Structure 1
Amino acid sequence: MIFIKAYVVTNILGVFAFDREGKVIVHKLFPKKPEVIAEKLKESRKGEIIEEERTVLNKLRLAGYKEVIWDKRAKDGFIACVYDPDHRGKEIAKEGFRKLAMDTRFVTTQAELNEIITKVNAFLTKQEVSKVKDDKVIMQVVGIVDDLDSSLNSLSERLREWYGMFSPETVRKVKSHEKLVEMLSRSAGEDEVKNFSKSLHDLYKTRDSLSRYLESACKQTIPNLSEVAGPLLASRLLSLAGGLEKIAKLTSSTIQLLGAEKALFRHLKGKGKPPKYGILFGHPLIQNAPKPLKGKVARLVAAKISLAAKTDQYSEKNEGKRIRKELEKKVGELTKNRG
């Protein structure tokens, strides 16, 4: 008898498909190399369909199965894939893990299996440690970028006042600090003004280079948070929270008020209104929201940022685009209902 549904599980051994009774329908083992297994598990957890999963799906389709249930949102063009993070196959695989390892001849002894498990977990842990290090790098770089922005703004203002003594008309005409610096670095008549402008121009280029590096690092290390919040805001939230692990543990209401601590303390002392948001004000959905709805939109944004941070910390899945679309849809509905 052929069942139309199969439950697909990917673990250290490989990829297994179970029927409703818990019997193995088909399977595809991983190469018995811990480093390769760790890499395949990493790719699978990101939501990618790896080679072994593709093989199992094809075998199921040829056997007449119409639908697979698994814990990823990835779709196959030839068989229906249903997402269920807690499907029955996972429990079956967990309870029968060691028996599966022996029955499929993946190993011949429990000691051999223990050794492989230890080595695979070591490689996975090494990847997590690398993520933590990247996390700290992002926090340092965004601090440097913010310091550069502050210094450039102050020094450019000084340059504007200085050159304004020689050519007030030019200073009034060029509103952008950066454009004024670039212009003066090439054409200023006073040597000292020109030299100072060149130094500032180099700092602007350094800031831009670091910003590009920061964006790339964020997309690689915290892809979901970057997609939902934007790389720069994501890195600042990370810095305020103290790291990815910490922001993943924060409630959405706490995330909503990150950067508004002083205003919150003033309110608690009875010296002002409660803040509706902190650094989240920089999110475009909040900036573009009607004033009466900014607080509600901030709550929606904070909730999805919390979800994105948890996804980055606790899984390898790329859910950022889906989370962002859900957020945009909810904000759109909120704005529409108001109208």
Structure 2
Amino acid sequence: MRVTLLVTALGLVAMSEEGETICEKFRGEKHEKLRELMESRPTEELVALIEKIKERDSDIVSCLDQRLAEAVKSAVPEMKVVIDESRIEYDAALLAVKCGWVLDEEEYYRSAREVALRLFEEKVRTAVARRDLMIVQAVKLLDDMDKIINMLYSRLVDWYGQHFPELHQYLENPETYAKIVYKIGVRKNYNEATVSELLREDLASKVLDACSRSLGADLNEVDESKIRKLAGQMLELMDFREEVQSYIKSLMEIEAPNLSAIAGPTLGARLISLAGGLEALARAPASTVQVLGAEKALFRFFKTGRGAPKHGVIFQHPYVHGSPKWLRGKIARALATKISIAAKVDYFSREDRSSEIRKSLEERIAEVKSKYASPPAKQTPRQKAKKRVARR
């Protein structure tokens, strides 16, 4: 005899072909029982219900859901389980009333709402607790700080430039410029001792020479204090940026060691951020990973049919940007494939296979460089025109 196994918010029901029902109410927290079933794990109620089914000489259990079927198979391996493709409809409220779990349908709906809310709250709590989402937020913070530091540096150069405009042409590093402004201040404080502490000897002499013939205006104490405070805020933000980078690196070593080994901690974290999480990156095909960060160029290609992007942010990887132009697309494809594999390993199995994946990547890149050692011959205008016509 064949029975169909049905799930409600309050318990499990087995229904025979003749319409007879066997009920088993959930004991304890109902949302936890449902979560276990959704994860294909058998509950004590499911095991008890299967025993009752076996007592009635039922040898086939029909399930409407793949996860429920796996739970039944896990609980009773010898039981024949089939998945009903017809997707029969049933009224869970009427079944609950028939089983005597509630007095009427309204009571069932109130109970079902409470169970659904508990399930949703638990799912949200689990999602927020994922550590890979911390990587996403940390990368976004890093981008925000880069923008703020650039804005502060631009403002500092404009402001301090009214006093010492020549300094900017000698110092290209924003951090060095901010340190000079913060620690020395006005031009009268520039001397060999103070400048040599912050700059190498040849550069220090050039700055001192420029200071002696500067055309900038003088600053009073109030102006100087505000400018130096701005430089100090910028330096503090730079120090915090270094802390965030170290934080991202430590998170990547814990959450995505394979991805970190293949792409590097910074690039790997950026890929996780662009994908929206480690799970999304693990489920994405290698072709998507290859162009992450190049969405504008990709949609422009879809619209015009020209200039398909060969790589997105993975261009930052030394294997890609350090290769000749005619090889970058092929190497980016190989790198994206291995990054995709590494992300899948990190998310699904959490094994350390970084050395194996890296070795495979290096072999593939060596093969590409050997096979395409010379650049391809340039196409004539006629050949390019034919290629465009063929694409259309």
TM norm structure 1: 0.60
Instruction: Give the whole-Å Cα distance in 1 for the aligned partners of 2:273 and 2:178.
Output: 30
- Alignment correspondent of 2:146: 149
**2:344 aligned with 1:310:** yes
Specify the code of the residue in structure 1 equivalent to 2:340: S
Instruction: Give the whole-Å Cα distance in 1 for the aligned partners of 2:127 and 2:284.
Output: 22
5+ residue gaps, structure 1, are 1-94, 99-128
Specify the code of the residue in structure 1 equivalent to 2:280: K
Higher relative contact order (CA 8 A, sep 6+): 1
Per the alignment, do residues 141 and 132 of structure 1 end up closer, same or farther by CA in structure 2, a change over 3 Å counting? same
Specify the code of the residue in structure 1 equivalent to 2:176: K
Among 244, 261, 286, the residue aligned to 1:252: 286
Query: Aligned residues: percent identity?
Result: 38
How many Å apart are 1:157 and its aligned residue?
A: 1.8
1:174-323 counterparts in 2 under 5 A? 174-189=171-186, 190-270=224-304, 272-323=306-357
Instruction: Give the whole-Å Cα distance in 1 for the aligned partners of 2:239 and 2:127.
Output: 29
| Structure 2 residue matching 1:175: 3-state secondary structure | coil
Per the alignment, do residues 335 and 131 of structure 1 end up closer, same or farther by CA in structure 2, a change over 3 Å counting? farther
| Structure 2 residue matching 1:332: 3-state secondary structure | helix
How many Å apart are 1:133 and its aligned residue?
A: 1.3
Aligned residue pair count: 219
Specify the code of the residue in structure 1 equivalent to 2:178: V
Instruction: Give the whole-Å Cα distance in 2 for the aligned partners of 1:182 and 1:222.
Output: 36
Q: Higher mean Cα deviation, 321-330 or 306-315? A: 321-330
Instruction: Give the whole-Å Cα distance in 1 for the aligned partners of 2:305 and 2:298.
Output: 10
Once superposed, which parts of structure 1, at least 4 consecutive aligned residues long, lie more than 4 Å away?
A: 129-132
How many Å apart are 1:333 and its aligned residue?
A: 2.5
How many Å apart are 1:332 and its aligned residue?
A: 2.2
User: 1:146-172 CA deviation, whole Å, 9 max, x = no partner?
Assistant: 110111112212212222222122211
Specify the code of the residue in structure 2 equivalent to 1:180: Y
Specify the code of the residue in structure 1 equivalent to 2:276: G
Kept in 2: contact 1:241–1:247 (CA 8 A): yes
How many Å apart are 1:334 and its aligned residue?
A: 1.6
| Structure 1 residue matching 2:304: 3-state secondary structure | coil
Per the alignment, do residues 182 and 325 of structure 1 end up closer, same or farther by CA in structure 2, a change over 3 Å counting? farther
Per the alignment, do residues 170 and 320 of structure 1 end up closer, same or farther by CA in structure 2, a change over 3 Å counting? same
- Alignment correspondent of 1:65: none
1:14-93 counterparts in 2 under 5 A? none
- Alignment correspondent of 1:135: 132
Kept in 2: contact 1:225–1:305 (CA 8 A): yes
| Structure 2 residue matching 1:258: 3-state secondary structure | coil
Instruction: Give the whole-Å Cα distance in 2 for the aligned partners of 1:243 and 1:323.
Output: 21
Kept in 2: contact 1:224–1:311 (CA 8 A): yes
Instruction: Give the whole-Å Cα distance in 1 for the aligned partners of 2:300 and 2:331.
Output: 23
What RMSD over aligned residues (CA atoms) do the two structures have, in Å? 2.6
| Structure 1 residue matching 2:148: 3-state secondary structure | helix
Instruction: Give the whole-Å Cα distance in 2 for the aligned partners of 1:263 and 1:250.
Output: 19
| Structure 1 residue matching 2:352: 3-state secondary structure | coil
Larger Rg: 2
Kept in 2: contact 1:163–1:171 (CA 8 A): no
How many Å apart are 1:132 and its aligned residue?
A: 6.1
- Alignment correspondent of 1:171: 168
5+ residue gaps, structure 2, are 1-73, 78-125, 187-223, 374-392
Specify the code of the residue in structure 1 equivalent to 2:330: K
Kept in 2: contact 1:263–1:272 (CA 8 A): no
| Structure 2 residue matching 1:269: 3-state secondary structure | helix
Specify the code of the residue in structure 2 equivalent to 1:164: G
How many Å apart are 1:182 and its aligned residue?
A: 2.0
Kept in 2: contact 1:131–1:221 (CA 8 A): no
